[in-house]
Amino acid sequence: MLRSAKKGYVMMLALVMIAILAVIGATTLSLAGVDNRIAVYNRLHMVVLNAAHAGTEHARNMLESENPPNENLDSAGDTWVEFVQATEAEANFEGISFASTAQNLGVYWVEAVYQKCSQPPPGYSTELGNQGFRSDFWNMESTARLQDTTYANVNEAQARSIATLRKVVWGACKIR
């Protein structure tokens, strides 16, 4: 009678082991999926961070030869919205037009705001007195994000890069 009572315990033990292995396998797959999503989002973030940095460098190069319109000459502040527009950045950086090869590099736009005027850095001639060189400081804020070529569908990845540029120019400081 003892022998017949123990007939099904091996099968029951096997079913419990299969259930435990199934739970462990599902947990492992879930963790692998989370790691993959983290890697994808990290890559997207790095793409837009690099695009934002490209925006500040683009604005820095443009500011070397031209000032933004309106140049913050009145007390109301700078009313120029974007010094580097997204479409201009697209033409120079290849951002979302690069999507034809399945790589979207994002797009950026940059605002440049005049901050202050001060003395030129050491080494510039000051022998002309107040009519010599001056340093203009510009604050540039570049925003970048991933989006499609219609500029409509926006990915949640977005980054900002902020830089201050000293531009040494000829002439005395202007009251702004």
Mean residue pLDDT across the chain: 76
Least confident of 7-21, 55-69, 88-102, 130-144: 88-102
d(CA 175, CA 40): 49
Specify the pLDDT at position 51.
86
The mean pLDDT of 97-123, rounded to a whole number, is 75
The alpha carbon dihedral of 64, 68, 74, 79 has a sign of negative
d(CA 33, CA 46): 20
Smallest CA-to-CA distance from 157 within 43, 4, 34, 29 is with: 43
Specify the pLDDT at position 78.
46
d(CA 131, CA 135): 12
Specify the pLDDT at position 33.
77
The mean pLDDT of 3-17, rounded to a whole number, is 79
pLDDT at 157 over 70: yes
pLDDT at 116 over 90: no
